[in-house]
């Protein structure tokens, strides 16, 4: 068998998800079919690329070598296709990428209202690093990220601009409803030292785990992370069953058998930002995309976070929304009137 680009994408998707089942779902094939395809790829290369471990599939030394070359080749091909598009089409399609979020569907609907002359092609990925790579390769025009602190987040590539929409967005913690701390109005990070942590899905290069470990170690402990690379439904089920806890954004919906509590002194926070290619998307469009997102963000906060008993008495746990993209003063979301429309998605962790 001769290797093709589609085979390289299979290898990269396996590495990004860390799971054969998740990679198969993302690629739209069955798990047995993907396993058989991986064996054929390994036969063509001449060695094992992945080994199964407690956290899923892990690249072997040969696998890491192939991954490095595969990512470079795919990036070159994506750049070739993206750059060639300028000479072959005058399409008005805006290629939009985003991390998984409860707000995605409502955001797209709002964009269609604010940019009636544009069509949208959308791609959702749990990894900010993957989205940034696709942006740099000219596969996407604009991406919406939920990213951690600058010291750990994927850097902004040359020629790519970034604009903050929400910062800081303090993390809360989702606990089983019968947890010993569930009755508290807020939870100190130090009190979670003995807990089992469940981590939301994200790419390995996003810096999320390194950020969590760094903040926890500053609080005097190293978090025990027993569950990783899970999707939203799996996270919710594990918390509800009392198997662990997880950080969550304030936009998270109510989950059965689960309570959400703010972290005392807000030691962990998030940034919601746009990154875009200035050569394909004008600033005026970015401003409208920005405004559409924060409109939906306010609606989602009103529907979910503002109904929690601790929300009115804990203003420090409220996110700060950058209401206007350029040259205006930031205001805490708590001091502004919030819209009354509901977001119509299922809860996500970002």
For 303-317, letters b (16+ CB in 10 Å) and e give: bbbbebebbeebeeb
Phi and psi torsions of 293, nearest 5°: -65, -50
Which tokens belong to 339? 């819209």
pLDDT (tens digit, 0 to 9) for every residue of the chain, 350 residues total?
788 888 998 999 898 888 888 888 777 778 888 898 999 999 999 999 999 887 789 999 999 999 999 988 887 877 676 566 555 554 578 999 999 888 999 999 999 999 888 899 999 988 898 899 889 888 999 999 999 888 888 888 888 999 999 999 999 999 999 999 999 999 999 999 999 999 866 655 788 888 999 999 999 999 998 887 777 888 999 999 999 999 999 999 999 999 999 999 999 999 999 999 988 888 889 999 999 999 999 999 999 999 999 999 999 999 999 976 553 333 333 333 333 222 333 334 45
- CB contact at 8 A, 162 and 325: no
Q: Which CATH architecture has domain 88-169+270-335?
A: 3-Layer(aba) Sandwich (3.40)
Q: Do domains 88-169+270-335 and 170-267 have the same CATH topology?
A: yes
Superfamily of domain 170-267: Periplasmic binding protein-like II (3.40.190.10)
Instruction: Provide the 3-class DSSP secondary structure of residue 154.
Output: coil
For the chain, what are the domain ranges? 5-81, 88-169+270-335, 170-267
What is the number of other CB atoms lying within 10 angstroms of the CB of residue 157?
13
Helix axis angle, 61-88 relative to 5-17, nearest 10°?
120
Element (H, E) at 56: strand 56-59
Q: Which CATH architecture has domain 5-81?
A: Orthogonal Bundle (1.10)
């Amino acid at each position: 068998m001769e290797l093709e680009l589609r085979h390289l994408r299979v290898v990269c998707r396996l590495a990004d998800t860390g799971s054969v089942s998740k990679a198969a779902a993302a690629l739209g094939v069955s798990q047995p079919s993907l396993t058989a395809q991986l064996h054929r790829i390994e036969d063509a290369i001449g060695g094992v690329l992945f080994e199964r471990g407690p956290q899923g599939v892990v690249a072997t030394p040969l696998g890491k070598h192939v991954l490095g070359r595969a990512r470079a080749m795919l990036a070159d091909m994506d750049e070739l296709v993206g750059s060639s598009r300028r000479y072959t089409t005058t399409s008005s399609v805006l290629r939009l990428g985003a991390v998984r979020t409860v707000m995605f569907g409502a955001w797209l609907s709002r964009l269609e209202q604010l940019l009636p002359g544009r069509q949208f092609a959308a791609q959702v990925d749990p990894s900010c690093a993957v989205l940034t790579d696709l942006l740099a390769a000219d596969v996407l025009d604009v991406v919406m990220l939920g990213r951690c602190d600058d010291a750990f987040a994927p850097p902004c590539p040359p020629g790519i601009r970034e604009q903050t929409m929400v910062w800081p967005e303090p993390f809360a913690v989702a606990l089983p409803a019968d947890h010993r701390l569930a009755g508290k109005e807020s939870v100190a990070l130090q009190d979670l030292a003995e807990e089992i942590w469940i981590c939301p899905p994200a790419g390995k290069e996003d810096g999320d785990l390194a950020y969590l470990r760094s903040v926890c170690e500053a609080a005097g402990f190293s978090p025990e992370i027993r569950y990783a690379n899970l999707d939203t439904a799996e996270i919710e089920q594990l918390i509800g069953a009392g198997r662990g806890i997880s950080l969550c954004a304030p936009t998270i919906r109510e989950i059965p058998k689960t309570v959400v509590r703010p972290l005392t002194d807000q030691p962990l926070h998030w940034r919601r930002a746009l990154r875009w290619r200035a050569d394909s998307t004008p600033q005026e469009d970015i401003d409208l995309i920005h405004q559409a997102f924060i409109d939906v963000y306010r609606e989602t906060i009103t529907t979910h976070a503002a109904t929690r008993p601790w929300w009115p008495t804990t203003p420090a746990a409220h996110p700060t929304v950058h209401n206007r993209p350029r040259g205006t003063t930031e205001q805490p979301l708590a001091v502004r009137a919030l819209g009354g429309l509901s977001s119509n998605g299922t809860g996500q962790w970002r």
